[in-house]
Amino acid sequence: MRRLNKTNLKRTNIMVSYKELGLVNTRDMFAKAIKGGYAIPAFNFNNMEQLQAIIKAAAETKSPVILQVSKGARNYANPTLLRYMAQGAVEYAKELGWEKPQIVLHLDHGDSFELCKDCVDLGFSSVMIDGSALPYEENIALSKKVADYAHQYDVTVEAELGVLAGVEDEVQAEESHYTRPEEVIDFSKRTGCDSLAISIGTSHGAYKFKPEQCTRDPKTGRLVPPPLAFDVLDAIMEQLPGFPIVLHGSSSVPQEYVDMINQYGGKLPDAVGIPEEQLRKASKSAVCKINIDSDSRLAFTAAVRKVFAEKPGEFDPRKYCGPARDLMTELYKHKIINVLGSDGKA
């Protein structure tokens, strides 16, 4: 890999600029999304099949898209490999007939300055610094440090205020604390962040609400979750008119996938997500990035379990990863067209 502009001291660390990889940052994308009343899908990927499905869905619907890489994904797949996969994704998108792909490579839940810097240096066009578990002033100091570094290279920065409940490999919190609207002006000004992830009742994973937080549909027996705190979102937007807002933990946990998993030997009792109507409503506001990971995991698992159950003699990974890829492509297209409304925007 070559180094950029060796004469400029500020740039001696960076190995490659995302611009050379054909990626874009989130700035214009978010401004257009807020104006147009839609949201950009931010899909996590850890492997080739997920990436193929995301790019196929985005190319076929001409939707801008954010490819998200978590710390866990980096550990699983290898950071360099993931970066080259994203570079390959841009070329694959063009092969699929998408002339000017609008693709962001984003670090999801960066938990240190060093991790964010490493991603900037490696060619990411956007990073998240998640200092939401830190005391307020420490969150500001860390987020500002990341923004100051990233902005030298025109890499955009997402910071987070408020805590999401939920448990995942690298993202854990027992309880959620909604974002306090009275803090958002001070936080965004002092950090210089380009977008703000907020907490209004979403959470990570496939169990977003405990049964005691929900009611039950008497006909189906399914859990009906409580609504998101749109009043908190409104108050935040009032404080920061037109500022890009991000929703994490926005999988809907489609019950058809949960049923398929359970039917073919899995065990996901009472898995529940965010109803899609609520995400559709949020997409029309200043919420311009919606994070979806668990739904893709569910689709993948459902498809693989089905093949294993129906064809126990199958041992060619292409025969079960292929159907998983098809189901994920269908899922991503559905989210783009029917939930976020980002189709035709790139």
Q: How far is the CB of 286 from ligand G3H (least distance, A)?
A: 21
Task: Report the SS3 class of residue 191.
Answer: helix
Please tell me the distance from the alpha carbon of residue 279 to that of residue 33, in angstroms, as a whole number. 14
Whether 108 sits among the annotated catalytic residues: the reply is: yes
Side-chain half-sphere exposure of 309, counting CA atoms within 13 A: 13
Question: Which residue in 60, 154, 168, 234 binds ligand G3H (CB under 6 A)?
Answer: 168
25, 41, 51, 108: which one binds ligand G3H (CB under 6 A): 108
Residue 197 CB, shortest distance to ligand G3H, in Å, is 10
Q: Which is nearer to ligand G3H, 248 or 325 (CB)?
A: 248
Regarding 204 and contact with ligand 13P (CB under 6 A), the answer is yes
Contact between 72 and ligand G3H (CB under 6 A)? yes
Residue 293 makes contact with ligand G3H by CB under 6 A: yes
| CA dihedral of residues 298, 301, 304, 310 (deg, nearest 10) | -80
Query: Do 93 and 101 touch, CB atoms closer than 8 A?
Result: yes
Binding mask 101-130 for ligand 13P (x = CB under 6 A): -------xx---------------------
Whole-number Å distance between alpha carbons of 320 and 79: 26
Q: Which partner from the list ligand 13P, ligand G3H, Zn ion, none does 169 bind, CB cut-off 5 to 8 Å by kind?
A: ligand G3H
Neighbours of 341 (CB within 10 A): 19
Q: Which does 292 bind (CB under 5 to 8 A by kind): ligand G3H, Zn ion, ligand 13P, none?
A: ligand 13P
The CA angle 145-148-153, to the nearest 5 degrees, is 135
Sole window of 92-100, 162-170, 189-197, 305-313 interacting with ligand G3H (rule: CB under 6 A): 162-170
Residue 116 CB, shortest distance to ligand G3H, in Å, is 15
Contact 106, 83 (CB under 8 A): no
Distances (CA, A) of 343 to 1, 60, 208, 218, 314: 35, 9, 27, 36, 36
CB of 109 to Zn ion, least distance (A): 6
Catalytically active residues, by annotation: 108
User: What is the contact surface with ligand 13P in residues (CB under 6 A)?
Assistant: 44, 108-109, 204-205, 248-251, 291-294
